[in-house]
Structure 1
């Protein structure tokens, strides 16, 4: 397994894997209109281009040999979506394609995120996870994250609640 830092030439692959993994994870719990609107907004060429060009945000592809199995996005201050703490790193997105779930890829990406944070002088990593995504919440808690709060998240026209989880850097 290895992570590769993405650049602007990866724009279409990020959009494709982002849309697919997000849809696979959440389509059964949301309406078709909500999913469609969110995917069009969150994974537009304009939005992902802007994120790729932000010097404080980084996308990584996860490969197993030559096979793309997932991706993640991290944000340093001040590019974070909520907390904006200069001593923290936000893990904004972490997705594994459905056919590869349960094989240790998520754990690998969490470990790499912790290393990125530590290498950059951060003292903690935080993330938001939808309160209805019980499998992800359990996974993050097994990985040492603790619930520290809540924030709202706009998905299409709906306002949903995310739990905010944090893990200290050891």
Structure 2
């Protein structure tokens, strides 16, 4: 496995990967209309290009030989509930459905933790949908603790995300 920082040259790969993993993860539990609206708002070429050029966003793609099998996105921004700390958000982390159970998510989490520590961050935080039980259990196994919640809109559906954090310094 290789994990490397994504650049503008990876735009097509990233778009395919973001759309496929998002659909695989959430399509069964959401309406087609809400899914389509979210994909069009966040995973078009234009939106991903903007995000790749944003200095606050960092994408990393995981490859198995020449196949992209997962990715993560870190975003440098404050959490409204962790204002006094140097924090970074693990905004997205996804692995293709046919790759789940192979330890790839743990490799991506470890990469995110390493990048965050090298960047001098004190806390890595994320939001996870309250109904994504597999992800919640995974994050807990990786040491994340719930510290709050916030509202997340998927199309017209208002959902609740749990906020979870991992302290990076002892």
* TM class by smaller structure: over 0.9
Residue correspondences, number: 168
* Structure 1 vs Structure 2 CA RMSD: 1.6
The aligned counterpart of 1:140 is: 139
Return the offset for 1:36. Answer: 1.2
Q: Distance in 1 between matches of 2:41 and 2:57?
A: 18
TM-score (norm 1): 0.93
Deviations 1:25-52 (A, max 9, x none): 0011001111111111111222111111
The aligned counterpart of 2:115 is: 116
* 1:152 corresponds to 2:147: no
Q: SS where residue 148 of structure 1 aligns?
A: strand
Q: SS where residue 147 of structure 1 aligns?
A: strand
Deviations 1:5-26 (A, max 9, x none): 1111211211111010000000
Contact 1:21 1:96 in 2 (8 A): yes
Return the offset for 1:128. Answer: 0.5
Contact 1:38 1:155 in 2 (8 A): yes
Gaps of 5+ in 2: none
* 1:107 corresponds to 2:106: yes
Contact 2:13 2:68 in 1 (8 A): no
TM-score (norm 2): 0.93
Return the offset for 1:65. Answer: 3.0
- Deviating beyond 2 angstroms after TM superposition, the runs of 4 or more aligned structure 1 residues are 64-67, 82-86
Q: SS where residue 24 of structure 1 aligns?
A: helix
Q: SS where residue 50 of structure 2 aligns?
A: helix
Return the offset for 1:83. Answer: 5.6
